[in-house]
Amino acid sequence: LFLSADPDNYLDKASTLDQLSVQQVAALEKIQGKQRTLAQQRKEASEKLSDLADTRTELKKKKEKVQGKLAEAQKLLNTLTAQERQEIADKEQRASRSASDRVDLGNEAPASGRGAAALAAAVTQIGKPYVSGGTGPSSYDCSGLTQWAYAQAGVQLTRTTYTQQNDGTKIGQSQLAPGDLVFFNSLGHVGLYAGNGQVLHAPYPGTSVRYESMSTIGSFQFGVRV
């Protein structure tokens, strides 16, 4: 300042440089803050992707396990003669209809008009045999029955348990109402909630469409309201 030929001009320049310096520091701090936020978001996204990959791997293993058991059951079923199969089917059908007559479904209000219509349609299929890949109307597997039942109500569900879980809104066990989809055993099985803790479903090879208590089907996962 003392050596400057124009002290006023020097002070003006010094003030401008000081302001620029403050602005640069502020801008740098803002950029650094955004970089920290971005790094945190990347870390969280990476963790979520890792969790998703683990979940997919676990679901694949469980699906393969269930499919293996179904294949074993189907292999055993294939060893039966046509007469033996018919005798088993007739016996199962009589047992299913007899059990259905004794089932207490209570008086719970249906989940919706669609749910009520789907459940009513499924009731007409009681006694029809379980066949892997069956989509009706002569035989069903579990998701084939739910897909067929909702189709009678004018609603198109996807084909498998792993996709039907996304065909509506997930709900807890305490929220279930007749007509809701109910999923069990790590999404390996699906049925229709019928009321009073009962499920109408196509259980497994060698059985037929019937009512069954939720407590005996397996591990409940969640319900889906369509």
Residue pLDDT, tens place only, 75-104: 887 888 888 877 877 776 666 665 656 789
Domain boundary among 78, 107, 125: 78
* 135 shares a domain with 146: yes
Q: Report the pLDDT value the prediction gives residue 188, as an integer from 0 to 100.
A: 93
* 111 shares a domain with 36: no
The tally of domains found in the chain comes to: 2
pLDDT band at 65 (very low <50, low <70, confident <90, very high): confident
Domain boundary among 60, 78, 96: 78
Backbone torsions φ then ψ of 201, nearest 5 degrees: -155, 170
Average pLDDT of span 125-137: 93
Q: Which residues are part of the catalytic machinery?
A: 142, 189, 201
CB 200 within 8 A of CB 209: yes
Rounded to two decimals, the pTM is 0.61
The whole-chain average pLDDT of the chain stands at 87
* 203 shares a domain with 106: yes
Domain span at residue 92 reads 80-225
* 203 shares a domain with 115: yes
Domain boundary among 44, 78, 112: 78
